[in-house]
Every structure is written in C-alpha cells, then in structure tokens.
A and B are shown apart, each in its own frame.
Chain A
C-alpha cells in the first residue's frame, strides 16, 4: 500500500476532494438541528438508543433501572474481597478524610479540605496509578465559566440543562454554573496559564451546545496545565498520597455510615485498611470498560471502580443508561484509534466532511447529537473505511489557519499537531480522520450540591458522580465539574468530620451483597471492581483492530 503524507493512496484521493471543495466549504453554513431533529438522529444512531446496549440491573438499590451492559456486568459481579478476608481490628491508616482517586476531583478536594482546616497529615489520597494519572490530565479543549459581560451564570445554567436533555439535578447544576467564575479566579491565583486575548482577558471559544463562548483553555493542554498545577500545590503542602494502592471496597461502621476503605497494594499485594471520618470517592470514569465495544479516550485506570464500591454500600447511581461518545476520536492511524481530538478543533473552525469532501452537519452540536450524525453518515456509506476496518469522517483542520492566520494550529493545538506528526501526518496541511469514541461517563453516584451521597460518610466528586450532566455533558463542563465539586467536597467534609464519631467497623455489606447475588443465582465468574483492563496477548490485537459500534 502506497503511503503519501501519512495516508494510504485511496485516502489521499478523498483528501484531494476535500481540498478542491475547501473554499466553498469555508463559506457553507449548515444549520443546527431542531430539538425534534436532534431526537430523531439520536434515536436512530446513538448507542443510547440501540438494541442490546443496555439491560436492567438485577441486584441492589437500583434494581430494575436500565444501565449499559458493561456496567451491569460489574454490578452483578462478586466483590473481590469478603468480610472474612480482612481483619478490621488492625487499622493501618486513621484519618479525617480519605480521598479515593488521585485525579482532578480528588486533588482539588484535598486542597480545599486543607484550606478549611484539615492538616495534611489527617488526609490520605489513595490512588490506583500515580498521583495525577486520570482523565483530568488528558482533557484538552477547555473549561466553561461565565465570566464575560455578554455571558452570565444563568445563561450557563440554561445551556447545561438543555444539553443534559433537561434531566440534570437543578440544585446541582445551579452550583456548577454559579461557582464557575470563582474556579477560574482560583486557578489564576495558583498560577494556571490560561490563553489570553490582546486586552488581557481570557480567550474564550465556543463549545458544542453552548450559547456563549465561554471555553477557557490552555492551548490544547488545558487538563494537563490545571492538573500539573494542583498536583504541585498538593505536593508543596505534603498531602499524603499512596500510589498504586486502589481502594477495592468501602468500609462501613455499625451505624451504616461509610468509615474508610480497604486498599490493595498492586505491587506487593498487601492490603491496607484505612479508617476515615469522611470518604470521598473521586475515581473518575469508566471508558476502559469499552461499553458498546467502543474504543476510548480514557486513561488506563478508568474502570468504574468507584461506581462498584459505592453501589456495594447501597448508594444509588443515576443516568448510566447513557454514555458520552465524543464525536472526534481519532480513526487513523491505527496506533491512535480512540484517542481524543479536541472539540477545540471544531471550535476554531474546522468542519466535518464526508468522503466526498462535503459538509453534512453543524460542527458544534452537543456531543451526542454530533456523534449520532457522524454515525449516520458512515452508516449511509459516505464515510471512509481505514485499512484496519475503522470508520471515519474528515475533520478539515487546515481551515483553521485560513480563518485565524498561519501558525494558529501550531500554536493553539500544539498537542494535536505533535500527536499526528509522530505518525507522519501534518494536520496543518491535511485533514484528520475521526469517529466517535467512548469519552465520558455522564452519570454515576448521585450527589447533592455538597457532594453528599445517599450513604452518610460517603461523598463523591468528579466524573464518578451522577446528576451533574444529566443525560449528556457539554464540552468544558467536566473540568468545571471536578473543580466545583472537588472544592465543595473538600469544604463540606472539612466541616462534616468535626462532628463525626466512628462506630465499629464492618464489611458485612459485602456479605449481604454476595447473598443478593446468590439469591439471583448469578454465577458470573467476574469480580469487581475491575482495577485494570485486560489487554494482554490477543486482547492487544483485538483492541488495535477495533471496529466500533455503528
């Protein structure tokens, strides 16, 4: 196969059509879909509405609810440990606040707990991989916050609510919108380098489904810039972090309140018991479950552990009958299939085009709608198929330099340029191939604006939570989410622990769960939480040649 400019010959032929039609395409104005049209394209194409992607939960507090098959599999799996495995009289760490998860939400929670009076040594962040290994580190495009005169938190609220199909929890999204400016202010205060305009204000772009341009960004490394910063601050404060020690189950006390967790040292296989007055679950997302067989943008550890542990204690989960597939996951070359190409590319003006070089969708619909449109286009045979059988449509990145001036792509999308360059593709000269990829867990453990869950002593923040984004999250709201609710979790638990006394520790809830599974005759050999995805041997190959859901 002849490779030209990084692409096989037949794909270059399609690119030639794209180049011919580029000028006309730049001026083409495709209308966004009406609400009714949105509903139609979703119903016919999005995995949330396809047969067989979801089924009813058979066990636990959310019995009868519909959730994605992969998640139900985890909830129907056996806990890794049972009460007889752990000697709860031997407590290895005794703290005020245990934070499970060392990503954005967990780190922000620790920083604000500290600011609100909890000494560093009375906290513990337990994380599965390294401190900072998380989806937070990978987020690219931006963070929404209503800080411009033309914009305001009420307008932001409207965008969030509509984007979530009017299913979000109102008090929770009120907090999300109202806390936005404060978060940006805090970031600036601790040294985050946001992109600026000439007049010294923040450069703010549009995101899918937003009615105002309020996407603050740090080139296309927004998540990394923020995560590096808060992690540095956390290290300066000597907040204790236990790496490679994921929690595998929560511990309750005899009043039914969550009182810590059992940690598993993945390297030595030691088990540690942590007793804590408040436990914050910040375990992030579940992309590595490859729900509906999609490739994913998520990091290695995104296996939904927090959902499982919370569910075992009786906490309820929301909106797991939806997944967020991001329309522009990379589709070529094979090595980067599934990896995120930021929405900012569209925000800066690049248009999605089919194999004939024609536009077919308004570039900035909310993610679920945009994804459904891409899927529809490929189903109709107007997408490309890569040598390894992956579907894709073009994203005409060279448009960006034409609109904003030469060098814009290199400057504002440095990470993207680098990624493609490593594989011989110059995205400043040629379009890139994209297709939906599993990106975000819209729902999760239900919280209120103070990050409380249904179980006393158990708090949650970040991607693991449900109710913030309803059935669909808008771009830039997840970075906002982990900051807003990480902060609230830190502030609230700092108060909460002052009045908490812990009773007798117990893991009886695991035995109860096992009995529930026995009663249902569930003979699955699976154990949960999953901790790490299985990619060895044949799985490495299967994932590389992944065919997505249509």
Chain B
C-alpha cells in the first residue's frame, strides 16, 4: 500500500526530472501535484549560446560541457517541471548524438528547437527537427539527393519518430519518404562549397533546400500519391493513424511506466491525432487512473540523469560552479549516459538494462559533483524525504539507521534500492 506522501512524490518525479523535495512538502495531494507540475509559469529558459566553429574539424566536442551543466541545472531548478520532463523525452526520442554530428554549436541549436516546441505541437516539433542542421547531419539528410537517395532519416523517421516499427509501412514507403525528404543541405563552413552557399544567402551552419537536389518524381507514400516534398511527406505520415498512437503510447509509458489499455491508447491517439497538442496529451495521461495507481509507483528504473538531478536537489547544489559540470559529465560517462551522446538512434537504454552492476556502482560516482558533504538531515526520514522517498523497506531503513556518519548516510540514501527505481 502506497502512502499519501509517496504518491505525491511519485507524481512529481514522473512529471519532472527530479524529486523536488522543497516542492513536495507543500503539495496537498496527487491532484495538487499534477496541477503544479503541469503549470508553465514564467518563460521558457533559453540555453546559453555556444561559439560557432570555423569548420567541422575545428569543432571541439568539449564545448558541449557548459550546455550539459546548464541543462541539468534546469532539470533541477526550473519551475516549469513538465517542460523539463518533455525536453528530456523529446531529446531521447530524436536521440541525436554529438558523436556523429561533432559540432556542439549545432547540438545547442537543436536543443533550443526542442525546447521551443516541447510542450506545444508535436507536428511542429517534427517538422522543425526534420530540417534541423544537427539532424540533417546525424541521419545523413545532407547526402540524400535525387539519384542517390539515402534512407537513413526516412527509415528512422517512420520507425522511431512517427509510426513505430511494423506499424503498416513497407520498404517501398521508406524509399518514397526518403525521396520526398531529399534536397536538404547544411552550409558547413570549411567545405569548398560553403562560400558559394553563403553567397546565395544560406548562412553558415544553417539548413536550406536546393531543388536541384530534390527528387521531384511522383511518389506513393502510405497509399497517397504526389510529388511530395519534406513537409508534405511529413504531413502524410502525421495523418496516418499509426503516428498519434505510437507517439501517445510512448509518452504514456514514459509518464505512467505501464502500458495503456487498448481503450486508453485508442482514445489518447484519437485526440492527439486531431491537433498533436502535447500538453493536452499529458493532461489526458495524468487523468488516467492508472497514473496515480499503486501499480504505477516505482515500476520504472531511475535513469542516471534523474539520479544526478535528485542528488543535486537533495543537497541543494547546482553545476554552475567549475568544474562540477565536468565532474558530473565524467560520472555520467562511466555509465554511458551523457546528454547529447545517446549510444544510438534508439536513444538511451532503459528498464532493467539499467540494473547491471556497472550502473549500480556508477551511482556512487554521481555524488562526485558535490564538493563538500551535504548538510546533515535531522533524522533518517528527513534524509529520505530529500530524495523524495517516503515508503522504504525495513532493510533499507536498517542500513541507514546503522550508519552513524551523516555524510555516508547521504551516500547510502542516494544508492539505496528505492532510489534506484522511480
């Protein structure tokens, strides 16, 4: 049986990126927690700018560090809780990796684009990401041209970003979509063609459409015929009923941690497919009784990024002080879970894949950005509350009670089984 406080904490950790201990104490009940977490007070934070490198070769991947530090700090401190959850969700959804893109400046531009749309329209977000320079480099849109159609973005778009695997498209549809997407390039400074593109008004590091590279043929995409371009093809895909179902179900699983019933999935898909508005979809998901049910509590495995955010919140610390961001990134690197560096286009691992020894031991490293021991809590329940934990097993309680040193007790709370799940 889940206690009232635990259920409130559950709502907060699912609709945000951390336990938010200073907030949870003031929330009366789960409904209050939901309405608070979904409020978009103030304005959306704008990511810090990064220097535009002179060429792809001159780009320093480590330039990404301040942006990662800033992002994790937003997760911990932005009052717009659901926005941070959704920015993370869409970033993992599109799973663009700096490892291939190579240019932190472009990753920052994409991050700003995802932030801009994160709570609004998924259709707008998809259209924007499809023309985003980092994505065009990541999934080879820039080499996709008439006569040399590259299927990378076309396939992953249908499989991972819209319809879902085995959901009614064929290899012929992948080819038709890829042909429709052809013709986009990025002006990459340092390449011989860059100056010429600039003369045409295509600024460095921006994307553009060149119709001589576009496949203008009439295509058959998901049963529709036309000489589709990128936007038109995306609209065809967005109009397929598989798309709202796949995306809404994926978000449901992220927030609830369970699979929706067939009826719930159909109803969410139907309203989401109507206008692709994200926040109303979140509201509908949180209104499903399953969201606050006992079954949903602690059925997800807490990701390393969430663990880090929780540690920072528990200790009232942030990453703005040098070199904490670098230390935090190194800790995340130990478990291969660094923002902007997902292992592949499928995104970061999740679920029980995150319960291996490497991840469990890696949780200790996530304490390292804390340069000094955190302030001692008055007792064990107060300490656990800092991590958003209210119901713990007698075994966990015993280990914490047996540890006399408050600093070490903090380290054990940050690695206990209940904190490992979410």
Do the two chains bind? no
